[in-house]
Chain A
Protein backbone atom coordinates (compact mmCIF):
# COMPACT_ATOMS: atom_id res chain seq x y z
CA UNK A 1 0.00 0.00 0.00
CA UNK A 2 1.43 3.31 -1.07
CA UNK A 3 1.62 5.74 1.87
CA UNK A 4 3.52 8.64 0.32
CA UNK A 5 4.00 9.78 -3.24
CA UNK A 6 0.32 9.47 -4.14
CA UNK A 7 -0.73 11.69 -7.03
CA UNK A 8 -3.97 12.92 -5.46
CA UNK A 9 -1.98 14.95 -2.92
CA UNK A 10 -2.57 18.58 -3.87
CA UNK A 11 0.31 20.67 -5.15
CA UNK A 12 0.48 24.31 -4.05
CA UNK A 13 2.42 27.24 -5.42
CA UNK A 14 3.28 30.75 -4.27
CA UNK A 15 0.34 33.07 -4.95
CA UNK A 16 0.59 35.19 -8.10
CA UNK A 17 -1.96 37.76 -9.16
CA UNK A 18 -4.13 36.59 -12.04
CA UNK A 19 -4.69 39.70 -14.09
CA UNK A 20 -7.27 37.99 -16.28
CA UNK A 21 -9.61 37.98 -13.28
CA UNK A 22 -12.11 40.85 -12.85
CA UNK A 23 -12.83 40.27 -9.19
CA UNK A 24 -10.35 39.08 -6.60
CA UNK A 25 -11.39 37.24 -3.49
CA UNK A 26 -8.64 36.59 -0.95
CA UNK A 27 -9.15 34.16 1.89
CA UNK A 28 -6.57 33.43 4.54
CA UNK A 29 -5.91 32.00 7.95
CA UNK A 30 -3.20 33.08 10.43
CA UNK A 31 0.21 32.95 8.79
CA UNK A 32 -1.61 32.85 5.44
CA UNK A 33 -1.96 36.62 5.92
CA UNK A 34 1.57 37.17 4.72
CA UNK A 35 1.22 35.66 1.28
CA UNK A 36 -2.15 37.40 0.92
CA UNK A 37 -0.56 40.77 1.59
CA UNK A 38 2.20 39.93 -0.86
CA UNK A 39 -0.17 38.95 -3.68
CA UNK A 40 -2.37 41.94 -2.90
CA UNK A 41 0.67 44.20 -3.27
CA UNK A 42 1.64 42.55 -6.56
CA UNK A 43 -1.92 42.85 -7.83
CA UNK A 44 -2.22 46.51 -6.95
CA UNK A 45 1.11 47.28 -8.56
CA UNK A 46 0.10 45.55 -11.77
CA UNK A 47 -3.51 46.76 -11.74
CA UNK A 48 -3.81 49.88 -9.59
CA UNK A 49 -7.59 50.05 -9.85
CA UNK A 50 -8.15 46.42 -8.79
CA UNK A 51 -8.74 47.37 -5.14
CA UNK A 52 -12.31 48.30 -5.95
CA UNK A 53 -12.92 44.69 -7.00
CA UNK A 54 -11.00 42.98 -4.23
CA UNK A 55 -12.30 41.47 -1.00
CA UNK A 56 -10.41 39.87 1.87
CA UNK A 57 -11.72 37.35 4.39
CA UNK A 58 -9.22 36.51 7.09
CA UNK A 59 -9.09 34.49 10.29
CA UNK A 60 -6.82 36.08 12.88
CA UNK A 61 -4.65 33.62 14.71
CA UNK A 62 -2.16 33.90 17.55
CA UNK A 63 0.42 32.22 15.31
CA UNK A 64 0.51 35.27 13.03
CA UNK A 65 2.11 38.53 14.02
CA UNK A 66 -0.24 41.33 15.04
CA UNK A 67 1.32 43.53 12.39
CA UNK A 68 -0.11 41.22 9.72
CA UNK A 69 -3.62 41.60 11.07
CA UNK A 70 -3.11 45.34 11.21
CA UNK A 71 -1.96 45.51 7.62
CA UNK A 72 -4.85 43.39 6.43
CA UNK A 73 -7.33 45.54 8.30
CA UNK A 74 -5.85 48.62 6.63
CA UNK A 75 -5.74 47.15 3.11
CA UNK A 76 -7.17 49.47 0.47
CA UNK A 77 -9.75 47.14 -0.97
CA UNK A 78 -13.52 47.14 -1.32
CA UNK A 79 -14.12 44.99 1.72
CA UNK A 80 -12.09 43.42 4.54
CA UNK A 81 -13.64 41.08 7.05
CA UNK A 82 -11.81 39.58 9.99
CA UNK A 83 -12.96 36.50 11.88
CA UNK A 84 -11.88 34.86 15.06
CA UNK A 85 -12.88 31.37 14.01
CA UNK A 86 -12.52 29.37 10.82
CA UNK A 87 -16.13 28.23 10.73
CA UNK A 88 -17.34 31.84 10.89
CA UNK A 89 -15.19 32.65 7.90
CA UNK A 90 -16.46 29.63 5.99
CA UNK A 91 -20.08 30.67 6.47
CA UNK A 92 -19.32 34.20 5.28
CA UNK A 93 -17.27 32.86 2.37
CA UNK A 94 -20.17 30.75 1.19
CA UNK A 95 -22.47 33.79 1.25
CA UNK A 96 -19.93 35.85 -0.70
CA UNK A 97 -19.64 33.18 -3.40
CA UNK A 98 -23.41 33.00 -3.73
CA UNK A 99 -23.38 36.66 -4.79
CA UNK A 100 -20.19 36.54 -6.90
CA UNK A 101 -19.94 36.80 -10.65
CA UNK A 102 -18.02 34.96 -13.35
CA UNK A 103 -14.59 36.51 -13.61
CA UNK A 104 -13.80 35.99 -9.93
CA UNK A 105 -10.41 34.63 -8.86
CA UNK A 106 -9.95 33.02 -5.50
CA UNK A 107 -6.65 33.25 -3.63
CA UNK A 108 -6.32 31.06 -0.56
CA UNK A 109 -3.45 30.95 1.91
CA UNK A 110 -2.92 29.20 5.20
CA UNK A 111 -2.61 25.71 6.56
CA UNK A 112 -3.74 22.98 4.17
CA UNK A 113 -6.48 21.76 6.47
CA UNK A 114 -8.07 25.23 6.39
CA UNK A 115 -7.61 25.66 2.64
CA UNK A 116 -9.20 22.27 2.04
CA UNK A 117 -12.40 23.43 3.72
CA UNK A 118 -12.40 26.66 1.74
CA UNK A 119 -11.87 24.86 -1.55
CA UNK A 120 -14.53 22.32 -0.76
CA UNK A 121 -17.05 25.17 -0.64
CA UNK A 122 -15.60 26.70 -3.83
CA UNK A 123 -16.12 23.33 -5.52
CA UNK A 124 -19.85 23.56 -4.82
CA UNK A 125 -19.90 26.78 -6.83
CA UNK A 126 -18.15 25.04 -9.73
CA UNK A 127 -14.95 27.03 -9.29
CA UNK A 128 -12.21 24.96 -10.86
CA UNK A 129 -8.45 24.90 -10.92
CA UNK A 130 -8.32 27.78 -13.38
CA UNK A 131 -10.06 30.06 -10.90
CA UNK A 132 -8.33 29.09 -7.66
CA UNK A 133 -4.80 29.69 -6.48
CA UNK A 134 -3.54 28.32 -3.18
CA UNK A 135 -0.36 28.72 -1.16
CA UNK A 136 0.32 26.48 1.77
CA UNK A 137 1.88 27.94 4.90
CA UNK A 138 1.73 27.27 8.59
CA UNK A 139 1.14 23.90 10.12
CA UNK A 140 1.14 20.78 7.97
CA UNK A 141 -1.28 19.14 10.40
CA UNK A 142 -3.80 17.10 8.45
CA UNK A 143 -7.49 16.47 8.46
CA UNK A 144 -7.82 12.68 8.37
CA UNK A 145 -10.87 10.72 7.25
CA UNK A 146 -11.20 7.32 8.90
CA UNK A 147 -12.15 4.96 6.12
CA UNK A 148 -13.65 2.53 8.63
CA UNK A 149 -15.99 4.77 10.64
CA UNK A 150 -16.32 7.67 8.13
CA UNK A 151 -15.47 10.44 10.58
CA UNK A 152 -12.77 13.10 10.28
CA UNK A 153 -10.09 13.89 12.86
CA UNK A 154 -8.69 17.43 12.77
CA UNK A 155 -5.10 18.55 13.32
CA UNK A 156 -3.27 15.28 12.97
CA UNK A 157 0.47 15.83 13.34
CA UNK A 158 1.69 12.26 13.58
CA UNK A 159 2.29 9.44 11.10
CA UNK A 160 -0.30 7.34 12.89
CA UNK A 161 -3.23 8.56 14.91
CA UNK A 162 -5.97 7.07 17.01
CA UNK A 163 -9.44 7.70 15.62
CA UNK A 164 -12.50 8.27 17.76
CA UNK A 165 -13.57 4.73 16.84
CA UNK A 166 -10.53 3.39 18.69
CA UNK A 167 -8.56 2.23 15.66
CA UNK A 168 -5.01 3.36 14.99
CA UNK A 169 -4.79 4.80 11.50
CA UNK A 170 -1.85 5.29 9.19
CA UNK A 171 -2.21 8.58 7.31
CA UNK A 172 -1.80 8.16 3.56
CA UNK A 173 -1.07 10.87 0.99
CA UNK A 174 -4.35 10.01 -0.75
CA UNK A 175 -6.39 13.23 -0.61
CA UNK A 176 -10.06 13.89 -1.34
CA UNK A 177 -11.03 17.45 -2.23
CA UNK A 178 -14.67 16.58 -1.67
CA UNK A 179 -13.99 15.41 1.88
CA UNK A 180 -11.14 17.92 2.37
CA UNK A 181 -9.18 15.15 4.08
CA UNK A 182 -6.45 12.56 3.79
CA UNK A 183 -7.24 8.89 4.02
CA UNK A 184 -6.64 7.11 7.30
CA UNK A 185 -6.45 3.30 7.20
CA UNK A 186 -6.06 0.95 10.14
CA UNK A 187 -2.35 0.41 10.60
CA UNK A 188 -2.24 -2.90 12.46
CA UNK A 189 -4.96 -4.80 10.62
CA UNK A 190 -2.61 -7.46 9.30
CA UNK A 191 -0.77 -7.89 12.60
CA UNK A 192 -2.97 -6.64 15.45
CA UNK A 193 -1.10 -4.61 18.02
CA UNK A 194 2.00 -4.12 15.84
CA UNK A 195 2.21 -0.33 15.75
CA UNK A 196 5.11 1.59 14.24
CA UNK A 197 6.62 4.23 16.54
CA UNK A 198 4.55 7.41 16.68
CA UNK A 199 6.44 10.23 15.01
CA UNK A 200 5.55 13.87 14.53
CA UNK A 201 5.70 14.28 10.78
CA UNK A 202 3.12 16.92 9.84
CA UNK A 203 4.48 20.00 11.60
Chain B
Protein backbone atom coordinates (compact mmCIF):
# COMPACT_ATOMS: atom_id res chain seq x y z
CA UNK B 1 0.00 0.00 0.00
CA UNK B 2 1.29 3.43 -0.87
CA UNK B 3 0.82 5.81 2.03
CA UNK B 4 0.82 9.53 1.35
CA UNK B 5 2.46 11.13 4.34
CA UNK B 6 1.60 14.49 5.87
CA UNK B 7 5.05 15.40 7.15
CA UNK B 8 4.22 18.86 8.48
CA UNK B 9 1.50 17.94 10.97
CA UNK B 10 2.12 18.85 14.61
CA UNK B 11 0.98 17.28 17.88
CA UNK B 12 1.86 20.29 20.05
CA UNK B 13 1.74 24.10 19.97
CA UNK B 14 -0.48 24.81 16.94
CA UNK B 15 -1.80 21.21 16.69
CA UNK B 16 -2.18 20.97 12.93
CA UNK B 17 -2.84 17.19 13.03
CA UNK B 18 -5.98 16.22 11.04
CA UNK B 19 -7.34 12.95 9.68
CA UNK B 20 -8.05 12.61 5.98
CA UNK B 21 -11.45 11.10 5.08
CA UNK B 22 -9.65 7.80 4.40
CA UNK B 23 -8.02 7.91 7.83
CA UNK B 24 -11.43 8.50 9.41
CA UNK B 25 -12.94 5.51 7.58
CA UNK B 26 -10.19 3.21 8.89
CA UNK B 27 -10.30 4.55 12.45
CA UNK B 28 -10.38 1.59 14.88
CA UNK B 29 -13.48 2.35 16.93
CA UNK B 30 -13.19 0.28 20.13
CA UNK B 31 -16.93 0.04 20.93
CA UNK B 32 -18.76 -2.90 19.38
CA UNK B 33 -21.79 -1.97 21.52
CA UNK B 34 -23.41 1.16 22.93
CA UNK B 35 -21.94 0.56 26.37
CA UNK B 36 -18.43 -0.08 27.63
CA UNK B 37 -16.89 -2.13 30.43
CA UNK B 38 -13.57 -3.93 30.73
CA UNK B 39 -13.22 -7.39 29.36
CA UNK B 40 -10.27 -9.58 28.47
CA UNK B 41 -10.83 -8.62 24.86
CA UNK B 42 -7.70 -10.26 23.52
CA UNK B 43 -7.83 -11.81 20.07
CA UNK B 44 -5.32 -13.28 17.65
CA UNK B 45 -3.49 -10.59 15.70
CA UNK B 46 -4.52 -11.95 12.31
CA UNK B 47 -4.46 -9.84 9.16
CA UNK B 48 -7.61 -7.74 8.73
CA UNK B 49 -9.28 -6.34 5.59
CA UNK B 50 -7.11 -4.40 3.10
CA UNK B 51 -6.78 -0.78 4.12
CA UNK B 52 -7.74 -1.41 7.76
CA UNK B 53 -5.33 -0.67 10.61
CA UNK B 54 -4.92 -4.41 11.10
CA UNK B 55 -4.17 -5.29 7.50
CA UNK B 56 -0.53 -5.73 8.54
CA UNK B 57 0.98 -6.62 11.91
CA UNK B 58 2.51 -3.15 12.24
CA UNK B 59 0.49 -0.33 10.71
CA UNK B 60 2.02 2.69 9.00
CA UNK B 61 -0.37 5.55 8.20
CA UNK B 62 -0.41 9.11 6.88
CA UNK B 63 0.87 10.45 10.22
CA UNK B 64 4.06 8.33 10.20
CA UNK B 65 6.62 10.99 9.37
CA UNK B 66 5.05 13.59 11.67
CA UNK B 67 4.82 11.13 14.56
CA UNK B 68 8.48 10.17 14.22
CA UNK B 69 9.42 13.84 14.35
CA UNK B 70 7.23 14.34 17.44
CA UNK B 71 9.03 11.42 19.11
CA UNK B 72 12.41 12.95 18.35
CA UNK B 73 11.27 16.22 19.93
CA UNK B 74 10.19 14.46 23.12
CA UNK B 75 13.45 12.49 23.34
CA UNK B 76 15.53 15.61 22.83
CA UNK B 77 13.96 17.08 25.97
CA UNK B 78 13.61 13.85 27.95
CA UNK B 79 16.02 11.06 27.02
CA UNK B 80 14.56 8.93 29.85
CA UNK B 81 11.53 8.17 27.70
CA UNK B 82 13.66 5.36 26.32
CA UNK B 83 15.04 2.97 28.91
CA UNK B 84 16.28 -0.60 28.91
CA UNK B 85 17.75 -2.63 31.75
CA UNK B 86 21.01 -4.36 30.81
CA UNK B 87 19.58 -7.90 30.63
CA UNK B 88 17.14 -6.77 27.92
CA UNK B 89 19.70 -6.46 25.12
CA UNK B 90 18.70 -9.64 23.29
CA UNK B 91 15.06 -8.58 23.39
CA UNK B 92 16.05 -5.23 21.90
CA UNK B 93 17.48 -7.04 18.88
CA UNK B 94 14.36 -9.17 18.68
CA UNK B 95 12.24 -6.00 18.48
CA UNK B 96 14.47 -4.48 15.86
CA UNK B 97 14.13 -7.59 13.73
CA UNK B 98 10.35 -7.76 14.20
CA UNK B 99 9.82 -4.15 13.16
CA UNK B 100 12.28 -4.11 10.27
CA UNK B 101 11.02 -7.41 8.86
CA UNK B 102 7.37 -6.34 9.09
CA UNK B 103 7.83 -2.92 7.55
CA UNK B 104 10.06 -4.12 4.74
CA UNK B 105 7.69 -6.98 3.90
CA UNK B 106 4.43 -5.00 4.10
CA UNK B 107 5.54 -1.58 2.78
CA UNK B 108 8.25 -2.40 0.23
CA UNK B 109 7.88 0.98 -1.46
CA UNK B 110 8.88 2.72 1.77
CA UNK B 111 11.25 0.33 3.55
CA UNK B 112 13.83 -2.27 2.60
CA UNK B 113 15.89 -4.74 4.57
CA UNK B 114 18.76 -6.69 3.12
CA UNK B 115 20.27 -9.41 5.28
CA UNK B 116 23.64 -10.90 4.44
CA UNK B 117 24.41 -13.07 7.43
CA UNK B 118 24.71 -10.71 10.37
CA UNK B 119 25.45 -7.79 8.03
CA UNK B 120 22.13 -5.92 7.61
CA UNK B 121 21.28 -2.99 5.41
CA UNK B 122 18.18 -1.01 6.36
CA UNK B 123 16.52 1.59 4.17
CA UNK B 124 13.77 3.89 5.44
CA UNK B 125 12.78 6.13 2.53
CA UNK B 126 10.19 8.37 4.26
CA UNK B 127 12.77 9.32 6.90
CA UNK B 128 15.67 9.13 4.46
CA UNK B 129 17.69 6.68 6.52
CA UNK B 130 20.14 4.20 5.08
CA UNK B 131 21.99 2.17 7.68
CA UNK B 132 24.43 -0.71 7.43
CA UNK B 133 25.01 -2.52 10.72
CA UNK B 134 25.92 -5.83 12.29
CA UNK B 135 22.95 -7.60 13.86
CA UNK B 136 23.89 -8.33 17.47
CA UNK B 137 26.55 -5.64 17.75
CA UNK B 138 25.13 -2.48 19.38
CA UNK B 139 28.27 -0.52 18.54
CA UNK B 140 27.27 -0.53 14.87
CA UNK B 141 24.07 1.50 15.45
CA UNK B 142 23.78 5.15 16.49
CA UNK B 143 21.50 4.23 19.43
CA UNK B 144 20.64 1.07 21.33
CA UNK B 145 18.69 -1.24 18.99
CA UNK B 146 15.26 -0.66 20.52
CA UNK B 147 15.70 3.09 20.62
CA UNK B 148 17.05 3.08 17.07
CA UNK B 149 14.13 1.21 15.57
CA UNK B 150 11.33 2.75 17.64
CA UNK B 151 12.46 6.22 16.59
CA UNK B 152 11.29 4.96 13.21
CA UNK B 153 8.01 3.39 14.31
CA UNK B 154 4.67 4.78 15.38
CA UNK B 155 3.30 3.99 18.84
CA UNK B 156 4.94 3.09 22.14
CA UNK B 157 6.86 -0.12 22.70
CA UNK B 158 7.36 -1.89 26.01
CA UNK B 159 9.34 -5.09 26.45
CA UNK B 160 8.51 -7.47 29.27
CA UNK B 161 10.90 -10.13 30.52
CA UNK B 162 9.28 -13.38 31.62
CA UNK B 163 10.43 -15.03 34.84
CA UNK B 164 9.04 -16.26 38.17
CA UNK B 165 5.68 -16.78 36.50
CA UNK B 166 5.34 -13.06 35.87
CA UNK B 167 6.10 -10.41 33.26
CA UNK B 168 8.43 -7.53 34.15
CA UNK B 169 8.37 -4.18 32.39
CA UNK B 170 12.08 -3.75 31.72
CA UNK B 171 12.62 -1.89 28.48
CA UNK B 172 10.65 0.54 26.41
CA UNK B 173 10.16 3.60 24.29
CA UNK B 174 7.22 5.58 25.60
CA UNK B 175 6.49 9.04 24.23
CA UNK B 176 2.84 8.83 23.14
CA UNK B 177 1.24 7.51 26.29
CA UNK B 178 -2.04 8.03 28.08
CA UNK B 179 -0.80 9.16 31.45
CA UNK B 180 1.63 6.49 32.59
CA UNK B 181 5.36 6.76 33.07
CA UNK B 182 7.94 4.28 31.85
CA UNK B 183 10.54 5.95 34.06
CA UNK B 184 8.46 5.26 37.14
CA UNK B 185 7.14 1.85 36.12
CA UNK B 186 10.45 0.33 34.96
CA UNK B 187 11.13 -2.97 36.70
CA UNK B 188 7.53 -3.51 37.80
CA UNK B 189 5.69 -6.81 37.62
CA UNK B 190 2.62 -7.05 35.42
CA UNK B 191 0.19 -6.28 38.21
CA UNK B 192 2.28 -3.55 39.83
CA UNK B 193 2.54 -1.87 36.47
CA UNK B 194 -1.24 -1.99 36.03
CA UNK B 195 -1.77 -1.04 39.68
CA UNK B 196 -3.42 2.33 38.96
CA UNK B 197 -6.19 0.79 36.83
CA UNK B 198 -9.44 0.72 38.82
CA UNK B 199 -12.00 -2.11 38.93
CA UNK B 200 -10.14 -4.45 36.60
CA UNK B 201 -8.07 -6.10 39.34
CA UNK B 202 -11.21 -6.97 41.27
CA UNK B 203 -12.75 -8.37 38.11
CA UNK B 204 -9.77 -10.69 37.71
CA UNK B 205 -8.89 -9.11 34.37
CA UNK B 206 -5.16 -8.98 35.07
CA UNK B 207 -4.98 -12.50 36.49
CA UNK B 208 -6.50 -13.85 33.32
CA UNK B 209 -4.51 -11.59 31.01
CA UNK B 210 -1.23 -12.53 32.71
CA UNK B 211 -1.97 -16.23 32.55
CA UNK B 212 -2.79 -15.89 28.89
CA UNK B 213 0.32 -13.89 28.06
CA UNK B 214 2.71 -16.20 29.92
CA UNK B 215 1.73 -18.83 27.37
CA UNK B 216 1.90 -16.55 24.35
CA UNK B 217 3.60 -18.38 21.50
CA UNK B 218 6.02 -17.48 18.81
CA UNK B 219 4.36 -16.58 15.56
CA UNK B 220 0.96 -16.17 17.21
CA UNK B 221 0.73 -12.50 18.24
CA UNK B 222 -2.43 -11.15 19.83
CA UNK B 223 -4.07 -7.74 20.01
CA UNK B 224 -6.68 -5.74 21.86
CA UNK B 225 -8.09 -2.24 21.76
CA UNK B 226 -8.12 0.23 24.62
CA UNK B 227 -9.22 3.84 24.66
CA UNK B 228 -9.31 7.14 26.47
CA UNK B 229 -9.78 10.77 25.50
CA UNK B 230 -7.30 13.58 25.02
CA UNK B 231 -7.69 17.32 24.60
CA UNK B 232 -6.10 18.45 21.35
CA UNK B 233 -4.37 15.90 19.13
CA UNK B 234 -1.60 15.62 21.68
CA UNK B 235 0.36 12.39 21.61
CA UNK B 236 2.53 13.04 24.64
CA UNK B 237 0.09 13.00 27.54
CA UNK B 238 2.69 11.69 29.97
CA UNK B 239 2.59 12.23 33.73
CA UNK B 240 6.01 13.85 33.28
CA UNK B 241 4.39 16.65 31.27
CA UNK B 242 1.03 16.72 33.04
CA UNK B 243 1.61 20.33 33.97
CA UNK B 244 1.69 21.15 30.27
CA UNK B 245 -1.45 19.33 29.17
CA UNK B 246 -3.49 19.14 32.38
CA UNK B 247 -4.76 22.75 32.07
CA UNK B 248 -6.33 21.94 28.68
CA UNK B 249 -8.90 19.76 30.39
CA UNK B 250 -10.48 22.77 32.05
CA UNK B 251 -11.00 24.58 28.75
CA UNK B 252 -13.51 22.27 27.07
CA UNK B 253 -17.03 23.61 26.41
CA UNK B 254 -19.90 22.12 24.39
CA UNK B 255 -19.05 24.74 21.76
CA UNK B 256 -15.39 23.83 21.31
CA UNK B 257 -15.55 20.09 22.19
CA UNK B 258 -15.90 19.11 18.54
CA UNK B 259 -12.53 20.54 17.77
CA UNK B 260 -10.74 20.03 21.07
CA UNK B 261 -11.86 16.68 22.42
CA UNK B 262 -10.31 13.63 20.76
CA UNK B 263 -11.05 9.99 21.16
CA UNK B 264 -7.75 8.22 21.58
CA UNK B 265 -7.73 4.53 20.70
CA UNK B 266 -4.82 2.26 21.40
CA UNK B 267 -4.27 -0.73 19.20
CA UNK B 268 -2.20 -2.94 21.46
CA UNK B 269 -0.23 -5.79 19.94
CA UNK B 270 1.70 -8.46 21.82
CA UNK B 271 4.37 -10.69 20.36
CA UNK B 272 6.51 -13.41 21.90
CA UNK B 273 10.11 -12.62 20.98
CA UNK B 274 12.25 -15.50 19.79
CA UNK B 275 15.82 -14.97 21.09
CA UNK B 276 14.96 -13.51 24.47
CA UNK B 277 11.67 -15.30 25.19
CA UNK B 278 10.43 -11.84 26.24
CA UNK B 279 7.15 -10.26 25.12
CA UNK B 280 6.90 -6.96 23.31
CA UNK B 281 3.82 -4.87 23.86
CA UNK B 282 3.14 -2.23 21.24
CA UNK B 283 0.68 0.52 22.09
CA UNK B 284 -0.28 2.43 19.00
CA UNK B 285 -2.45 5.51 19.52
CA UNK B 286 -4.98 6.68 16.93
CA UNK B 287 -6.58 10.08 17.47
CA UNK B 288 -9.86 11.40 16.08
CA UNK B 289 -11.57 14.68 16.94
CA UNK B 290 -15.26 14.66 17.83
CA UNK B 291 -15.83 16.78 14.74
CA UNK B 292 -14.23 14.10 12.59
CA UNK B 293 -16.02 11.33 14.46
CA UNK B 294 -19.52 12.71 13.84
CA UNK B 295 -18.96 12.48 10.10
CA UNK B 296 -19.88 8.82 10.69
CA UNK B 297 -23.45 8.93 12.05
CA UNK B 298 -23.34 5.50 13.69
CA UNK B 299 -20.16 6.36 15.56
CA UNK B 300 -21.62 9.68 16.77
CA UNK B 301 -24.62 7.86 18.28
CA UNK B 302 -22.52 5.15 19.80
CA UNK B 303 -19.80 7.29 21.34
CA UNK B 304 -22.47 9.61 22.74
CA UNK B 305 -24.11 6.68 24.52
CA UNK B 306 -20.86 5.14 25.75
CA UNK B 307 -19.64 8.40 27.27
CA UNK B 308 -23.00 9.31 28.75
CA UNK B 309 -23.32 5.97 30.57
CA UNK B 310 -19.67 5.36 31.50
CA UNK B 311 -18.94 3.95 34.98
CA UNK B 312 -17.86 6.79 37.32
CA UNK B 313 -14.60 5.03 38.30
CA UNK B 314 -13.64 4.88 34.62
CA UNK B 315 -14.58 8.52 34.08
CA UNK B 316 -12.12 9.39 36.82
CA UNK B 317 -9.41 6.93 35.75
CA UNK B 318 -9.51 8.09 32.16
CA UNK B 319 -9.25 11.69 33.33
CA UNK B 320 -12.59 12.74 31.82
CA UNK B 321 -14.14 14.25 34.95
CA UNK B 322 -13.75 17.86 33.95
CA UNK B 323 -15.03 17.65 30.42
CA UNK B 324 -17.13 14.53 29.88
CA UNK B 325 -20.38 16.48 30.22
CA UNK B 326 -19.29 19.04 27.64
CA UNK B 327 -18.47 16.29 25.14
CA UNK B 328 -21.75 14.48 25.79
CA UNK B 329 -23.59 17.76 25.23
CA UNK B 330 -21.70 18.31 21.98
CA UNK B 331 -22.57 14.81 20.77
CA UNK B 332 -26.22 14.76 21.93
CA UNK B 333 -27.67 16.47 18.81
CA UNK B 334 -26.03 13.77 16.66
CA UNK B 335 -27.87 11.00 18.53
CA UNK B 336 -31.46 10.67 17.38
CA UNK B 337 -31.96 7.58 19.52
CA UNK B 338 -32.01 5.26 16.51
CA UNK B 339 -30.57 1.80 17.16
CA UNK B 340 -26.98 1.18 16.03
CA UNK B 341 -26.00 -1.88 14.10
CA UNK B 342 -23.74 -4.33 15.95
CA UNK B 343 -19.99 -4.17 15.33
CA UNK B 344 -17.84 -1.15 14.70
CA UNK B 345 -18.03 -0.74 10.91
CA UNK B 346 -19.18 2.77 9.87
CA UNK B 347 -22.48 1.21 8.63
- Quick check: do A and B touch in the complex, using CB within 8 A? yes
Question: Which residues of A approach B to under 8 Å, CB–CB?
Answer: 1-2, 5-9, 123, 128, 145, 147-148, 150, 167, 172-179, 183, 185-186, 189-192
A147 with B250: in contact, given A172-B196, A177-B187, A183-B184 (CB under 8 Å)?
Answer: no
How far apart are the CA atoms of A1 and B242 in the complex, in Å? 12
- CB atoms of B184 and A1 under 8 A apart: no
B68 within 8 A of A: no
How far apart are the CA atoms of A183 and B316 in the complex, in Å? 18
How far apart are the CA atoms of A178 and B85 in the complex, in Å? 11
Within 8 Å CB of A176, what residues of B? 184-188
**Interface footprint category on B:** 20 to 34
Within 8 Å CB of B80, what residues of A? 150
How far apart are the CA atoms of A190 and B201 in the complex, in Å? 28
Cβ contacts A to B, 15 pairs, < 8 Å: A1-B179, A1-B196, A5-B198, A7-B191, A7-B201, A8-B191, A8-B192, A8-B195, A147-B184, A150-B183, A172-B196, A177-B188, A178-B187, A183-B239, A189-B247
Nearest to A149 among chain B residues (CB) is: B240
Nearest to A176 among chain B residues (CB) is: B184
How far apart are the CA atoms of A177 and B166 in the complex, in Å? 16
* A/B pair count, beta carbons within 8 Å: 82
Q: SS class of chain A's interface: helix, strand, loop or mixed?
A: loop
- Scoring A5, A145, A185 by chain B CB atoms within 10 A of each residue's CB, the highest score goes to A185
How far apart are the CA atoms of A189 and B245 in the complex, in Å? 8
How far apart are the CA atoms of A176 and B247 in the complex, in Å? 27
B327 to chain A, nearest CB (A): 16
- CB atoms of B184 and A186 under 8 A apart: no
How far apart are the CA atoms of A27 and B188 in the complex, in Å? 24
How far apart are the CA atoms of A177 and B196 in the complex, in Å? 15
B148 within 8 A of A: no
A185 to chain B, nearest CB (A): 6
Within 8 Å CB of A183, what residues of B? 181, 184, 239
B336 within 8 A of A: no
Known: A1-B317, A190-B322. 19 other contacts (CB 8 A): A2-B196, A2-B317, A5-B198, A7-B191, A7-B201, A8-B188, A128-B164, A147-B181, A147-B242, A150-B80, A174-B184, A175-B195, A176-B187, A177-B192, A185-B242, A186-B243, A186-B246, A190-B246, A191-B247
- Scoring A123, A147, A172, A189 by chain B CB atoms within 10 A of each residue's CB, the highest score goes to A189
Within 8 Å CB of A123, what residues of B? 187
Which B residues from 222 to 242 make CB contacts under 8 A with A?
239-242
Nearest to B170 among chain A residues (CB) is: A178
B194 within 8 A of A: yes
B274 within 8 A of A: no
Within 8 Å CB of A150, what residues of B? 80, 183
- CB atoms of A189 and B240 under 8 A apart: no
A114 to chain B, nearest CB (A): 20
- Checking B179, B197, B240, B249 against A148 with a beta-carbon cut-off of 8 angstroms, the contacting residue is B240
- CB atoms of A178 and B186 under 8 A apart: yes
Nearest to B180 among chain A residues (CB) is: A174
List 5 tightest A-B contacts by C-beta distance, closest first: A189-B246, A8-B195, A178-B187, A8-B192, A7-B195
- CB atoms of A1 and B316 under 8 A apart: yes
Nearest to A167 among chain B residues (CB) is: B243
Within 8 Å CB of A174, what residues of B? 184, 195-196
A192 with B247: in contact, given A6-B195, A185-B239 (CB under 8 Å)?
Answer: yes
B319 within 8 A of A: yes
Within 8 Å CB of A178, what residues of B? 186-188
A11 to chain B, nearest CB (A): 12
Within 8 Å CB of B249, what residues of A? 190
- CB atoms of A189 and B188 under 8 A apart: no
Within 8 Å CB of B239, what residues of A? 147-148, 183, 185
How far apart are the CA atoms of A8 and B317 in the complex, in Å? 16
